[in-house]
Amino acid sequence: MTECQLSSQETVESLSVLPKDWQVDLRDLASLDITLSTLELIRRTTSRLPQDVIDALARGHAKEAQASRAANTLGTMLENVTLADHHVAPLCQDTGTVIFWVRHPFGVSQRALKQQIRQAVVEATKRSWLRPNCVAALSGKNAGNNLDPFHEGHPVIHFEEWDQAEVEVSIMLKGGGCENVGAQYRLPEASLGAGRDLKGVRKCIIDAVVKAQGQGCSPGILGVAIGGDRVTGYEKSKELLLRRLDAPNPDPGMDAFEKALAEDLNTLGIGPMGYGGRTTVLGVAVEEMFRHPASFYVSISYMCWSSRRMTLRLQNARPAIFE
Ligand code: SF4
């Protein structure tokens, strides 16, 4: 399916910043250090698009009329994917807002892990794997190290303790252009004729994609949270972008909704980068949440075609797993 010739796993391993035969030691969780493995996670994520996204781009390319602007654009994207991988260079000049989700067993110091992740981000920025994207809101001043100049808001790190004996670190590089076209709706929404049901949700999603046109660097991937409050809805919608495009929604009804919606969105004619065509989105992931009886939010996060995400798994006495 893929039209990209990515470098072999052996090549990727040979370029790793982790020492050869490195294994994680999780026996003493309090002294766990994930700095180097997180740096390697960033290196791989910034330059290597996940295979399911490559496959979806290739499927879109095959569907477009030969030599059309859509086909040429998707062809250039696929060429870009190969070049970034071969040169271990950022896939896009915008390496985004850097977001982590860390799941860990009891006994880990979140404070220590946070400092290690921040150190890895600073080092990745020095090595030009990340662009310095973190500026003061009003002055635009850039310290050049990707750290929030006021608090510890960037990189964004979500922590969760779990029962498993392993540590999992997921990363997403969320581009600024696609972030700008995310949207949140409050139902009912009279201007769209959208009520508090799945039909209303569908109208919101179509509206967001129509308004985005090519500005989110389509073809896009949509994460949609139905419910929650204004914060948790957006958080969930973003987390949904970690889901593989070939992974079905565990709820069969929602899975059917997602697939039908993706097909409908691809008839809008917006196409790659807004140049027209049949490939406007690569996938849609929707999840229902709780809500306050008085509120009904639909929160939509839009991810561009350059959907850089990866998960690092650390299991005791085993090499780091990147997937
Ligand atoms: S939206 Fe995505 S593809 Fe477009 S410039 Fe930003 S990171 Fe790059």
* Confidence tier at 273 by pLDDT (50, 70, 90): very high
Find all residues with CB under 8 Å of 269, minimum gap 6, and list them. Answer: 276, 277, 280
**How many domains does the chain divide into?**
2
* Residue 121 falls inside a structural domain: yes
* Residue 71 falls inside a structural domain: no
4 Cα distance to chain centroid: 20
Quote the percentage of the chain above a pLDDT of 90. 98
Spatial separation of the C-alpha atoms in residues 241 and 220, rounded to whole Å:
11
Q: How far is the CA of 217 from the centre of ligand 1 (A)?
A: 6
Q: What mean pLDDT comes out for the span 171-184?
A: 98
Q: How far is the CA of 76 from the centre of ligand 1 (A)?
A: 14
Q: How far is the CA of 179 from the centre of ligand 1 (A)?
A: 9
* Residue 254 falls inside a structural domain: yes
Sign of the Cα torsion 317, 102, 43, 115 reads negative
Q: Is 83 left (phi over 0), alpha (psi -120 to 50) or beta?
A: alpha
Beta-sheet strands, E only, within 176-319 = 183-186, 220-226, 281-288, 297-303, 308-314
pLDDT at 1: 46
Asked if residue 257 and residue 132 are part of one domain, the reply reads no
Start-to-end CA distance of the chain, whole Å, equals 19
Find all residues with CB under 8 Å of 156, minimum gap 6, and list them. Answer: 97, 98, 99, 100
208 Cα distance to chain centroid: 18
Unique residue bearing structure tokens 């271990």: 88
Asked if residue 259 and residue 191 are part of one domain, the reply reads yes
Q: What mean pLDDT comes out for the span 160-182?
A: 98
The pLDDT tens digits for 202-251 are: 999 999 999 999 999 999 999 999 999 999 999 999 999 999 999 999 99
* Residue 15 falls inside a structural domain: yes
Q: How far is the CA of 190 from the centre of ligand 1 (A)?
A: 32
Q: How far is the CA of 94 from the centre of ligand 1 (A)?
A: 6
* Confidence tier at 117 by pLDDT (50, 70, 90): very high
Tell the residue nearest (CA) to atom 7 of ligand 1.
Answer: 175
pLDDT at 113: 98
pLDDT at 3: 66
pLDDT at 4: 82
Asked if residue 29 and residue 170 are part of one domain, the reply reads yes
Q: What mean pLDDT comes out for the span 72-84?
A: 97
Asked if residue 284 and residue 263 are part of one domain, the reply reads yes
Asked if residue 163 and residue 312 are part of one domain, the reply reads yes
Asked if residue 22 and residue 159 are part of one domain, the reply reads yes
Asked if residue 101 and residue 18 are part of one domain, the reply reads yes
Measured CA angle at 267 (ends 274, 55), to 5 deg: 75
Asked if residue 277 and residue 317 are part of one domain, the reply reads no
Find all residues with CB under 8 Å of 88, minimum gap 6, and list them. Answer: 15, 43, 47, 129
Structure-token pair, residue 22: 């490195």
Asked if residue 110 and residue 162 are part of one domain, the reply reads yes
Q: What value does the mean pLDDT of the chain take?
A: 97
Asked if residue 207 and residue 316 are part of one domain, the reply reads no
Asked if residue 312 and residue 183 are part of one domain, the reply reads no
pLDDT at 2 over 60: no
The pLDDT tens digits for 20-47 are: 999 999 999 999 999 999 999 999 999 9
* Residue 274 falls inside a structural domain: yes
pLDDT at 174 over 70: yes
* Closest alpha carbon to 6 in 80, 73, 71: 80
Asked if residue 185 and residue 147 are part of one domain, the reply reads no
* Residue 187 falls inside a structural domain: yes
* Residue 81 falls inside a structural domain: no
Q: Could you tell me if 272 and 219 are in contact, meaning their C-beta atoms sit under 8 angstroms apart?
A: yes
The pLDDT tens digits for 251-264 are: 999 999 999 999 99
Q: Which atom of ligand 1 is nearest to the CA of 306?
A: 3
Unique residue bearing structure tokens 């849609």: 284
* Residue 82 falls inside a structural domain: no
Domain holding 19, by residue range, is: 9-48+91-175+307-322
123 Cα distance to chain centroid: 21
Length of the chain: 323
Q: Which atom of ligand 1 is nearest to the CA of 177?
A: 1
pLDDT at 186: 98
Strands 167-174 and 97-104: antiparallel
pLDDT at 141 over 90: yes
Residues framing ligand 1 (Cβ under 6 A): 92, 94, 96, 175-178, 216-217, 304, 306
